[in-house]
Amino acid sequence: MARWQWLVLAGVLVAVLGAALVLLDAIARIYSTLALVSPRLAQAVLGVLIGLALAAIAASLYYLWLFLRPRRRRPLPPPPRTASEAARLNLEAVQQQIEHLQDQVARQALAEASQALQAAMDRGDLTITVFGVGSAGKTSLINYLIGQPRGEVGAALGTTQREQVYPWQLGDLPRPLRLVDTPGLAEAGVAGTLREEAARALAIRSDLILFVIDDDLRQSEYAILQTLLDLGKRTVVVLNKADRYPEADLEALLQRLRRRLVPPLAAEDVVAIAADPKPLPQEGGGWLQMRPHVLPLLARMADILREEGDTLIADNILLQSQQLGETARRLLADQRQAQADQVIDRYQWIGAGAIAMTPLPGLDFLATAAVNAQMVVELSQVYGCEISLEEGKALALSLAKTLAGLGLVKGTVDLLALGLQTNLATALAGRALQGATGAYLTRIAGKSFVEYFRHNQTWGDGGMAEVVEQQFQLNQRDGLVKAFLQQATAKLGSLVNSEGGRPPPPY
């Protein structure tokens, strides 16, 4: 058992022992008094009292066992053996999360995205995305690869205004390929920023990235490249326009780039090409058009796709499904929080009405009255946990004792008393104060159980007491207390003014 469970056990045993001693003394006095009148009656009463005491002890031990017994954990599935299996399992988990969403628009959008990922995985085609600053030669490279000048090419920054997708085949590789040309990165102004964001979104969907530059890496280019590498994307850095450099200068530039980028890249992943070389002047006049030199890139791409093609697809699907899963988890968490808040709000005012209509003889009873076992069960259902009503009672009883043991009942009374005295007539404030205190404690208990179920039915290292104390502190913020007092005044004021009437609806 955890440390906090041992502390709870010790506290309960001390309480039970103390209660037993008091009970034995009371039974002895009752027996002595009755024995003077009728020994037979005294024996009968003694038997009944002993039976009731044993039943109470048995019930206490049963609830204590329910609370402290170890939870049966579902056995963890074996880890995936390959990247493809990991991607498939993650995609299945995302699809299960999507099924729990109640927002139909979000559910449909995420389901379509999930189905698209599944279809891409089944097809097995690879997406190669070309990135680079404006006019680094991205579009010229793609024009050469596909064999015809389809993209708009020019000297101005950002000549590719939107993504362009082209089917492609590399040599004898049987796998279908998709080449994607992107808007230029690191351009000035709002338009360049928007293009950069769009290009980064495209990187998430890419299996292989070609990062095209035409000189040494600028700081802005290096930052963007580092972002792509942090995504875990397989990347080849392509130094274009190599024809502009003398051979010695080109080799020195390649060495500088490799020193800067290796690792995480391999030296072979930094290549020099000339996708659209400039014509050279001839001695007798005229110009000699040089042939493109792209073979180093083609050879490197072929090696990567042959050796790593399946892994690249699986890694890409895994990354996209993880991001899809994060979105689904965030929406599901928001949905569950809203549902849990509705459950807590309903039970806090139901309990407040009951307490205000039938005031309790002392503050000690408020904590027990405020924590409703059925509320605990409903909160567990919101978070997909399965607990019985008996387990809910055990949890409710334990948390009620924690509220009382931390002094939060008295703290809540002091917190709310001044506000209610100000808002309600003094003659009514006593009854309303008990009801409002019960509602506030129900709120603290409900928020604490939300944390418990949200974290897989665990209280964390600090145990139940730390979670309850934290929720009490969080709900003491001035704006929250004022809003609660306004609700309490509206609901409980009309209730205590009505003679014999039913409590108003809790919502």
Q: Where are the domains of the chain?
A: 15-70, 83-325
- pLDDT reported for residue 195: 55
- Look at the pTM and tell me if it is higher than 0.85: no
Look up tokens 């009514």; give the residue: 428
- pLDDT reported for residue 12: 62
Averaged over 362-385, what is the pLDDT? 78
* Strand positions, DSSP E, 6-82: none
Of 136-140, 251-255, 432-436, the least confident = 432-436
CB 415 within 8 A of CB 481: yes
Q: How confident is the model at residue 8 (pLDDT cuts 50, 70, 90)?
A: low
Q: How confident is the model at residue 72 (pLDDT cuts 50, 70, 90)?
A: low
DSSP notation for 143-205: HHHHTS--S---SSTT---S-EEEEE--TT--S-EEEEE-PPBS-SHHHHHHHHHHHHHHHHT
Q: How confident is the model at residue 46 (pLDDT cuts 50, 70, 90)?
A: confident
pLDDT tens for 312-349 read 888 888 888 888 888 998 999 999 999 999 999 988 88
- Provide the CA 425 distance to its chain's centre, in angstroms: 46
- pLDDT reported for residue 171: 79
pLDDT over 90 for what percent of the chain? 17
- Provide the CA 223 distance to its chain's centre, in angstroms: 28
Neighbour order of strands in the sheet with 270-272: 164-168, 177-181, 126-132, 208-213, 234-239, 270-272
Helix, strand or coil, per DSSP, at residue 472: helix
Handedness of CA 304, 307, 309, 313 (dihedral sign): negative
CB 154 within 8 A of CB 134: no
CB 67 within 8 A of CB 58: no
Tokens of 227: 């972002």
pLDDT tens for 99-128 read 888 888 888 898 888 888 888 788 778 899
pLDDT tens for 379-429 read 999 998 888 888 888 898 888 888 888 888 788 777 777 665 555 444 445
- pLDDT reported for residue 155: 41
* 219: pLDDT strictly greater than 50: yes
pLDDT over 70 for what percent of the chain? 76
For the stretch 472-475, contacts whose Cβ atoms lie closer than 8 Å and that sit 24 or more positions apart, written own/partner, are: 472/406, 472/408, 472/411, 472/444, 474/447, 475/440, 475/443, 475/444, 475/447
Tokens of 41: 């009656």
Distance between CA 141 and CA 275 in Å, rounded?
5
Tokens of 399: 């948390």
Half-sphere exposure of 486 (CA within 13 A, CB side): 6
Averaged over 65-94, what is the pLDDT? 70
- pLDDT reported for residue 425: 47
* 459: pLDDT strictly greater than 60: yes
* 140: pLDDT strictly greater than 70: yes
Helix, strand or coil, per DSSP, at residue 80: coil
* 353: pLDDT strictly greater than 60: yes
Distance between CA 386 and CA 482 in Å, rounded?
35
pLDDT tens for 416-449 read 776 655 554 444 456 677 778 888 888 999 999 9
* 152: pLDDT strictly greater than 50: no
Contacting residues for 485 by C-beta, under 8 A, at least 6 apart: 416, 419, 420, 423, 436
Q: Does domain 83-325 have CATH number 3.40.50.300?
A: yes
* 161: pLDDT strictly greater than 70: no
Cβ-based neighbour number of residue 328 at 10 Å: 26
Element (H, E) at 81: none
DSSP notation for 319-334: HHHHHHHHHHHHHHHH
- pLDDT reported for residue 342: 93
pLDDT, mean over the chain: 78
Higher per-residue pLDDT: 257 or 34: 257
Higher per-residue pLDDT: 163 or 498: 163
* 252: pLDDT strictly greater than 90: yes
* 506: pLDDT strictly greater than 50: no
CB 46 within 8 A of CB 27: yes
- pLDDT reported for residue 30: 78
* 69: pLDDT strictly greater than 80: no
Higher per-residue pLDDT: 75 or 507: 75
- pLDDT reported for residue 361: 56
